[in-house]
A and B are shown apart, each in its own frame.
Chain A
Amino acid sequence: MTTFARTAFSSKMSNTMHIIGNSFKPAAPVALKQGSPAVPRTNATLQKQGMFLTGKVSTAVSLIGPASVRYAHSDVTVPDFNDYRPKNVSNTAITNFREKEEQRKKDTKTFNYAITAGAWIGGVYFAKNTVELFIKSMSASADVLALASIEVPLADVPEGKSVTFKWRGKPLFIRHRTAEEIATEEAVNLAELRDPQHDNVRVQRSEFLIVVGICTHLGCVPIADSGDFGGYYCPCHGSHYDASGRIRKGPAPLNLEVPEYSFPSEGIVKVG
């Protein structure tokens, strides 16, 4: 099926038309002539030239043939857009264009900068919050935070015994010390200690020693009631801790860590 279009413009028009159909080889060559420069072809004058009155366009389109018909419009001039231009722009001669553009950019500078600043502020806010969302998602979740502190009934620790509890995934030693142990630890000469700390700064109540059960050497869990100093002994590399959790012998550099704890009510210790 072929598609054709015929334009029957009056002899007032001096340009011929070239129909571009759906064929892959070019049709008859286009013959273009310059329009007469003496007759301005704007929207106002086209009707006077009779384009609408005498022009006749017809097309025949089939259902499965090509759907678009294209004309080579070599006679249409650009309409006058002055009514639609912004106030500081006009279509004066091209020699002024660069200056006009420079001026226009200066005039709209404030607005453009304001919009740009707003966009940057919004964008940075959005970006910062997005990054924060992802990074925060990797931090401790609510169930982990919920177990960040534990409450232990002190009655669970008989006198003379050291009991191990799980706190933040780590072992926690709560030792109910006897009077003898307390006296011994308080009498220790600080000059002998690798990590000098008096017993009374390591306990809030002398009867209860509360320390994190992780050897400060390389992280093993010491064994309670063993070692040469009546406290703890780490089997991994032979560190000995006393009944105040202080390092006395072996490679560990520091005393067993004392966590943050308090006694919210009688008989209860809250750790963490």
Chain B
Amino acid sequence: MMLRKNPLINLFIGSFYRLPAPININYLWNGGSLIGTFMVIQVLTGLFLSMHYCGNTLMAFYSVNHIMRDVSGGWIMRYIHANGASFFLAFIFMHIGRNLYYKTYYRKGAWMVGIVLLILSMLTAFLGYVLPWGQMSFWGATVITNFVTAIPVWGETIVNWLWGGFSVDNPTLNRFYTFHFLFPFLIIALSIVHLFFIHQTGSSNPLGNFSDNMKLDFWPYYGVKDILGMFLSLFFFLLLVGFSPDYFGDAENFLKANPMVTPVHIKPEWYFLFAYAILRCIPNKKLGVLALVFSIVVFFFFIFSKKKVLPSLGYRLVFWIWAMNFIMLTWLGGCPVKDIFIFMAQISSFIYFFFLFLLMVI
């Protein structure tokens, strides 16, 4: 390889082209590049959607309709953007799951930046969901911003400040549009920091052992593998967008926001359902909100778990039970508010936190 004097080219070669990667990483290591792919898709489609969207309560709903019906290719860009968010968060969950399974939270910097990225991504998705100004957009915004009222003493003041008024209305929509546009760039910047931390040590590998003596150049091996992963996921993604684009949507969002009438079955998008189930199963408002926040914040505490050792049989058992329970919790979040579902959600929530605690100590 010729000696490169240009520091930018050197950086590119060292971080990508000739990045040393362990010889034995499997398809679970495709998560990062897939998240990046969907990040690019979301930014591109979002950019072009923003050329036609109007962030004012009088126009927002109709501008989305205009995009769907009048703008050339608008319908597919909107469906790609909406479903892209689902895929983006799905891959984030899988990525976190893989890191939890293989115990890579020993790498504290990368792990903590990763959890911050998770929080930012969830926030961005929430903000974006409000923009169409349908019934679910409005009431989802109302419910989630109302969490802030759980803060003692200043809760009410803060939420009015957040709303820019006395309820979710035009000022709220305007600022949500601004933040929805801004946060992705923050996510991109933090992703670079995330990669920086990871490249200090290089990728981990499924055996969990030291792998400096068995590395391959990233390109072409993992470059091509990543491209294959992108093709596969884009195939399923475009199947969804082309044949069932409203699958993850809610019928209520076809109705324009009505501040006077709350829908009977209100629920967030699927990626928030696990937290929603945890919130709903606790009959106390403040504790419920605390539990919801803690369900994400708990991941920060993994940096205090004991020194990295290989995942044992017991660890893997606990992990898989936790993972299945996570899916159960997601399903329960979408169930109506009936005693049996609340009871099941209480059990599931307990398992969620207790098993995460177990993962920290085993």
Name the B residues within 8 Å of A136 (CB-CB).
72-73
Name the B residues within 8 Å of A141 (CB-CB).
52, 66, 70-72, 74
Closest residue on chain B to residue A145 by CB atoms: B70
Q: Is A134 an interface residue (CB 8 A)?
A: yes
Interface footprint category on B: 20 to 34
* Pairwise interchain contact A65-B312, C-beta atoms closer than 8 A: yes
**Number of A-B pairs whose CB atoms are under 8 Å?**
58
CA distance A143 to B73 in the complex (A): 14
Name the B residues within 8 Å of A64 (CB-CB).
312-315, 362
Name the A residues within 8 Å of B77 (CB-CB).
133-134, 137
* Pairwise interchain contact B66-A67, C-beta atoms closer than 8 A: no
Interface footprint category on A: 10 to 19
* Pairwise interchain contact B312-A133, C-beta atoms closer than 8 A: no
* Pairwise interchain contact B316-A67, C-beta atoms closer than 8 A: yes
Q: Is A66 an interface residue (CB 8 A)?
A: yes
Q: Is A92 an interface residue (CB 8 A)?
A: no
Closest residue on chain A to residue B49 by CB atoms: A137
CA distance A146 to B221 in the complex (A): 52
* Pairwise interchain contact B69-A142, C-beta atoms closer than 8 A: yes
Closest residue on chain A to residue B358 by CB atoms: A64
| Among candidates A68, A134, A137, A139, residue contacting B207 with C-beta atoms closer than 8 Å | A68
Name the B residues within 8 Å of A138 (CB-CB).
48, 51
B313 to chain A, nearest CB (A): 5
Closest residue on chain B to residue A68 by CB atoms: B310
Interface membership of chain A positions 131-157, coded 1 if the CB is closer than 8 angstroms to chain B and 0 otherwise: 001101111011110000000000000
Greatest chain B CB density within 10 A among A22, A66, A137, A142 is at A137
CA distance A98 to B313 in the complex (A): 46
A243 to chain B, nearest CB (A): 39
Closest residue on chain B to residue A64 by CB atoms: B314
| Given contacts A133-B77, A136-B73, A141-B72, A66 and B66 within 8 Å (CB-CB) | no
| Given contacts A142-B69, A143-B66, A137 and B312 within 8 Å (CB-CB) | no
CA distance A215 to B48 in the complex (A): 34
* Pairwise interchain contact A67-B48, C-beta atoms closer than 8 A: no
Closest residue on chain B to residue A126 by CB atoms: B234
| Given contacts A64-B314, A65-B312, A137 and B70 within 8 Å (CB-CB) | no
B82 to chain A, nearest CB (A): 16
Name the A residues within 8 Å of B251 (CB-CB).
none
A126 to chain B, nearest CB (A): 10
CA distance A142 to B69 in the complex (A): 8
| Given contacts A64-B362, A68-B207, A137 and B313 within 8 Å (CB-CB) | no
| Among candidates A61, A133, A139, A144, residue contacting B313 with C-beta atoms closer than 8 Å | A61
A235 to chain B, nearest CB (A): 33
CA distance A207 to B22 in the complex (A): 84
* Pairwise interchain contact B70-A67, C-beta atoms closer than 8 A: no
A25 to chain B, nearest CB (A): 13
Q: Is A63 an interface residue (CB 8 A)?
A: yes
| Among candidates B48, B51, B309, residue contacting A66 with C-beta atoms closer than 8 Å | B309
A142 to chain B, nearest CB (A): 4
* Pairwise interchain contact B72-A137, C-beta atoms closer than 8 A: yes
A–B Cβ pairs within 8 angstroms, 25 of them: A22-B310, A61-B313, A63-B312, A63-B317, A64-B313, A64-B315, A64-B362, A67-B310, A67-B312, A67-B313, A68-B207, A133-B73, A134-B44, A134-B73, A136-B72, A137-B51, A137-B52, A137-B71, A137-B73, A137-B74, A141-B52, A141-B70, A141-B71, A143-B66, A144-B70
Give 8 new A-B contacts, CB below 8 A, not counting A137-B52, A141-B72.
A61-B313, A62-B313, A63-B313, A64-B315, A67-B311, A133-B76, A142-B69, A143-B66
Name A residues whose Cβ lies closer than 8 Å to a Cβ of B. Answer: 22, 61-68, 133-134, 136-139, 141-144
